[in-house]
Chains A and B, each alone.
Chain A
Amino acid sequence: GQQVMQIPQYQHVQEGEDFTTYCNSSTTLSNIQWYKQRPGGHPVFLIQLVKSGEVKKQKRLTFQFGEAKKNSSLHITATQTTDVGTYFCAPSLFFSGGYNKLIFGAGTRLAVHP
C-alpha cells in the first residue's frame, strides 16, 4: 500500500535556528496534509497541499509540495519553544462512498532548546 517516509525521525535545535522535515513517497500523491502533535496531546491539522509545486505559509511555517507531487516539506524559521512536538505528514486517499483515508508518516519529533 501507499506509504510515506519522513526524515529526520528526530531533531533538536537551539531556539532561533531553522528546522525542516521532509516527507517522501514513491508514488504520486493527490494531496498531502500536515499535522502537529504536542507532547501528550493529540494531532492537530495544520494545512493541506494539493497543487504541484504549491507553497503555503503560516507565519514562520512554510509548506511545500514537490513538482512531481511525490514529496513535501515543512520548514520552520527561527524556531521557538512553542514549536516543540511531532510533525506528521499524511497523504489522503479518497474512496467511493465518502471514505477519506489518511496514511500517516512516522513523524519528525522536534525538540527546541532555549
Chain B
Amino acid sequence: SQTIHQWPATLVQPVGSPLSLECTVEGTSNPNLYWYRQAAGRGLQLLFYSVGIGQISSEVPQNLSASRPQDRQFILSSKKLLLSDSGFYLCAWSVPGPGSPLHFGNGTRLTVT
C-alpha cells in the first residue's frame, strides 16, 4: 500500500532563517506531488505541484521554492523565512489522471518567530 511521510512534524524558526521540509511517498510510481499551506483556521492554499522529476509549477508568487530531485521526493524550501510563512504545510500525492483524490501527509506546523 502507498504511504506518505512528511517531516518534521513541528518547526520553530527565526525570521530570516532557511527552511527545508521534506516529503516522500512509498508504494507508487510517478505520482503527482503537491505542497499546500493552511493558515490557522483557514482553507488550503496550493503552493506547488509536480507531475514529474524536476517539473515544478508554482501557484502563488512568494519566497518559497520547491524541488523534486527524485520521483517520490518533494522538498519545500526557503532561503529566508518571513513571519507570514507561518502555517501548516501539507504535502500530498495523487495518481495522475482526472479526478484522482489527494492523499495528504501528516503536515508540518511551522512557526516563524
Which residues on A are within 8 Å of B, measured CB to CB?
Answer: 30-31, 33, 35, 41-45, 48, 50, 88, 92, 94, 97-102, 104-107, 109
User: What DSSP secondary structure best describes chain A's contact surface?
Assistant: strand
Which residues on B are within 8 Å of A, measured CB to CB?
Answer: 32, 41-44, 46, 49, 51, 57, 90, 94, 96-107
Instruction: Pick the residue among A33, A35, A42, A99 that contacts B49 (CB under 8 A).
Output: A99
Contact check, A100 vs B43: say whether CB atoms are below 8 A apart.
no
**Which residue in chain B gives the minimum CB-CB distance to A102?**
B102
In the bound complex, how far is the Cα of B107 from the Cα of A38, in angstroms?
Answer: 13
Chain B residues contacting A99 (CB-CB under 8 Å) are 32, 49, 51, 57, 96
Chain B residues contacting A30 (CB-CB under 8 Å) are 98-99
Contact check, B51 vs A97: say whether CB atoms are below 8 A apart.
yes
Chain A residues contacting B90 (CB-CB under 8 Å) are 42-43
Given the contacts A88-B43, A94-B98, A105-B43, A100 and B32 also touching, CB distance less than 8 Å:
yes
Instruction: Pick the residue among A48, A97, A104 that contacts B99 (CB under 8 A).
Output: A48
**Which residue in chain B gives the minimum CB-CB distance to A103?**
B46
**Which residue in chain A gives the minimum CB-CB distance to B43?**
A106
Number of A-B contacts (CB under 8 A): 63
A-B contact pairs, 22 of them (CB 8 A): A30-B98, A31-B99, A35-B102, A42-B104, A43-B104, A44-B104, A45-B102, A45-B103, A94-B97, A97-B51, A98-B32, A98-B97, A100-B94, A100-B98, A100-B100, A101-B46, A101-B49, A104-B43, A104-B44, A105-B43, A106-B42, A107-B43
Chain B residues contacting A97 (CB-CB under 8 Å) are 51
Contact check, A48 vs B51: say whether CB atoms are below 8 A apart.
no
Instruction: Pick the residue among A31, A100, A105 that contacts B96 (CB under 8 A).
Output: A100
**Which residue in chain B gives the minimum CB-CB distance to A98?**
B96
Q: Nearest-CB distance from A72 to chain B (Å)? A: 14
**Which residue in chain A gives the minimum CB-CB distance to B90?**
A42
**Which residue in chain A gives the minimum CB-CB distance to B96?**
A98
Contact check, A98 vs B51: say whether CB atoms are below 8 A apart.
yes
Given the contacts A50-B99, A99-B51, A43 and B44 also touching, CB distance less than 8 Å:
yes
**Which residue in chain A gives the minimum CB-CB distance to B41?**
A109
Q: Nearest-CB distance from B105 to chain A (Å)? A: 7
